[in-house]
Amino acid sequence: MRKTIALATLASLALAACGNDAGDGEAMTADEMADAVEEGDMPQPGLYSSTQELIELSMPGVEDDMLNILRSAFEEGAQEESTYCLTPEEAANAREEMLKGMAESDCTITRMNMSGGNIDAAMSCPTGQGVTGDVTLTGTMASDGADMEMAFVSELPGMGDARIRMRVKTERIGECS
C-alpha cells in the first residue's frame, strides 16, 4: 500500500511539472518547433531498452521518511527492465507525432532545439490547480538511442519548490520479434 501511494505521489508531481519552462523565452509557434527538430534526429525502427535513474528528489515540508519511500519506490521501478518495439510506421511518423503532441498539449514550449544529436528544451504546463510546473530536457540523441536528463520543478503552495531530476537512457537492442 505504501509503495502504491509513493508511486502515485511521485507520478503526480512529475506529470504536474511535465512540459514546463525553466527558460525565459516566449512561447514558440508550431512552425518554430518544426524548424527546431531535424529529421535526422528521429529513431529507427526496432526493439529498445530503457533505463531510468533518479538524480534528485526534494519536496519542502515533506518528511525524510516519506522522501525515502518515494526514492525507494522509484528505484525499485527503475530496476525493472523496460523494452518496447518501435514499428517502421511509428518511426516514420515520430517527428510529426511528437510535434502534434506538443501542439495539442496545454503546455507552453519556450525553448526547443533538436539538432546535431542534441536536445535542449524548456516548457511550462498548468497543473489544473492554479499551479504551473517547469521542465527542462537536455541530452543527446541518435537514431539508435538517447541519453537525456529531465528536470521537473513545481511550486507547492505555501511550501516552496518541489524538484525531481532524472536521467533516462534508451538503446536500440535489436529487431522487434
The pLDDT score that the predictor gives to residue 4 is 33
Band (pLDDT 50/70/90 cuts) for residue 34 is low
State which residues form the domain around 125. 2-174
Tell me the pLDDT of the chain averaged across its residues: 78
pLDDT tens digits along 99-120: 777 777 788 888 888 888 898 9
Mean pLDDT for the stretch of residues 5-13: 37
Q: Count the domains in the chain.
A: 1
Dist. CA 104–CA 30, nearest whole Å:
10
Return the pLDDT at 48. Answer: 94
Q: CB within 8 A of 47, min separation 6: which ones?
A: 83, 84, 85, 86, 172, 173, 174, 175, 176, 177
- Report pTM: 0.72
Distances 12 to 1, 28, 34, 98 between C-alpha atoms, Å: 17, 26, 29, 22
Dihedral (CA of 134, 78, 141, 102) sign: negative
Give per-residue pLDDT as tens, 70-93. 889 888 877 777 899 999 999 888
Lowest mean pLDDT among 19-28, 53-62, 139-148: 19-28
